[in-house]
């Protein structure tokens, strides 16, 4: 029981790291974060009732994009390129927002301002503080969730401002970097997650406790070794890299 309680505390800290908000919103963030455990478990249990084929869904999510599909190429200074495909059918607003920002140069020179090894790397804030950025519409937009998209390793997700019961997505995003954890799998099994989902997590890694809570709008299909290098950089007490990790640009193009 003590191990589960300790693990829950760690997850709450990491979930808090995915928010991009100012001090005036800290209470809202704390409330939303504290409720995530039960919310996620209930959501997954409900999803399991509709007999989601997690194996087929995972195969589709992790598949290489086809020729002509729209992809993003992250040109990261001193590191190289990371390539991701999109799930426009499930998260059309998130994809439109990200693609438009990228084409207009919004992310040029922006850093990965929050990096946590075996969790994720987060960017998309022009201020580089975790408190800035906005959508292409000038206002926040809502989560777009699907039981078939899971925060496996390499998933491209929208970061949330942490507001309860209101749109909370702007420009910030993160790439899930974690590998499979037996401790995480054990906790999820105890929490009532479907065995089929846990098996796919065993195959693909990621951060399963985010499932059903964050918009997944893309998947990295090339360059995870670069994401891993970024995840291990030296960071300060706020998880900000000591030396800036800079996105020179994000190129939007068709898969060749």
Asked if pLDDT for residue 35 goes beyond 70, the answer is: no
- Helices 2-17, 182-190: axis angle to 10 degrees equals 100
* Inter-residue contact 115 to 242 (CB < 8 Å): no
Collapsing DSSP to helix, strand or coil, 146 comes out as coil
Find the mean pLDDT for residues 105-125. 98
Asked if pLDDT for residue 26 goes beyond 60, the answer is: no
Find the mean pLDDT for residues 165-185. 94
Report how far apart the first and last C-alpha atoms of the chain are (Å, whole number). Answer: 51
Residues 6+ apart with CB under 8 A from 104: none
pLDDT on residue 142: 95
Q: Residue written as tokens 């800036």?
A: 244
Asked if pLDDT for residue 47 goes beyond 70, the answer is: no
Asked if pLDDT for residue 162 goes beyond 50, the answer is: yes
* Nearest partner of 153 among 117, 187, 204, 197, judged by Cα: 204
Predicted model pTM: 0.86
Structure tokens at 250: 């994000």
pLDDT on residue 3: 45
Q: How far apart are CA 227 and CA 192, in angstroms?
A: 31
- Read out DSSP for 70-130? EEEEEEETTTEEEEEEE-TTT-HHHHHHHHHHHHTTTTTTEEEEEEETTTEEEE--TTSSS
* Inter-residue contact 198 to 208 (CB < 8 Å): yes
Find the mean pLDDT for residues 179-205. 94
pLDDT band for 25, please (50, 70, 90 cuts).
very low
Structure tokens at 19: 């928010």
pLDDT band for 130, please (50, 70, 90 cuts).
very high
Which CATH number is 46's domain given?
2.40.100.10
* Inter-residue contact 83 to 71 (CB < 8 Å): yes
Q: How far apart are CA 174 and CA 25, in angstroms?
A: 20
- Residue-averaged pLDDT of the chain: 86
pLDDT, tens digit, 9 for 90 and up, residues 57-68: 999 999 999 999
pLDDT on residue 37: 44
pLDDT, tens digit, 9 for 90 and up, residues 197-256: 999 999 999 999 999 999 999 999 999 999 999 999 999 999 999 999 999 999 999 999
Give the max Cα distance, the chain.
51
Burial class (CB in 10 A: 0-12, 13-18, 19+), 9: exposed
For the CA atoms of 34, 22, 88, 48, the dihedral, rounded to the nearest 10 degrees, stands at 0
pLDDT, tens digit, 9 for 90 and up, residues 66-96: 999 999 999 999 999 999 999 999 999 999 9
Domain limits for position 66 = 2-254
Find the mean pLDDT for residues 13-39. 43
Q: How far apart are CA 4 and CA 186, in angstroms?
A: 9
Find the mean pLDDT for residues 165-171. 89
Output phi, psi for 152, to 5 deg. Answer: -70, 170
pLDDT over 90, % of the chain = 76
**Number of domains making up the chain:** 1
Between 49 and 127, name the one with better pLDDT.
Answer: 127
Find the mean pLDDT for residues 152-162. 94
């Amino acid at each position: 029981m003590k191990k589960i309680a300790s693990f829950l505390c760690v997850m709450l800290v990491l979930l808090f790291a995915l928010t991009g908000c100012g001090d005036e919103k800290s209470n809202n963030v704390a409330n939303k974060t504290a409720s995530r455990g039960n919310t996620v478990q209930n959501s997954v249990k409900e999803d399991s009732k509709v007999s989601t084929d997690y194996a087929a869904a995972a195969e589709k999510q992790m598949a290489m994009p086809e020729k002509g599909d729209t992809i993003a190429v992250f040109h990261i200074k001193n590191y190289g390129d990371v390539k991701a495909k999109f799930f426009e059918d499930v998260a059309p607003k998130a994809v439109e927002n990200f693609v438009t920002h990228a084409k207009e140069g919004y992310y040029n020179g922006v850093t990965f301002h929050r990096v946590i090894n075996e969790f994720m790397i987060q960017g998309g804030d022009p201020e580089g503080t975790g408190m800035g950025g906005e959508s292409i519409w000038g206002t926040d937009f809502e989560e777009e969730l699907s039981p078939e998209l899971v925060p496996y390793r390499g998933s491209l997700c929208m970061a949330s401002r942490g507001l309860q019961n209101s749109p909370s997505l702007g420009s910030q995003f993160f790439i899930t970097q974690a590998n499979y954890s037996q401790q995480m799998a054990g906790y999820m099994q105890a929490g009532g997650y479907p065995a089929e989902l846990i098996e796919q997590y065993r195959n693909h890694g990621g951060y399963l406790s985010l499932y059903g809570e964050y918009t997944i709008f893309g998947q990295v299909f090339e360059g995870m070794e670069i994401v891993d290098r970024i995840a291990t950089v030296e960071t300060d007490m706020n998880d900000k890299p000591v030396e800036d990790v800079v996105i020179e640009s994000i190129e939007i193009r068709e898969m060749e």
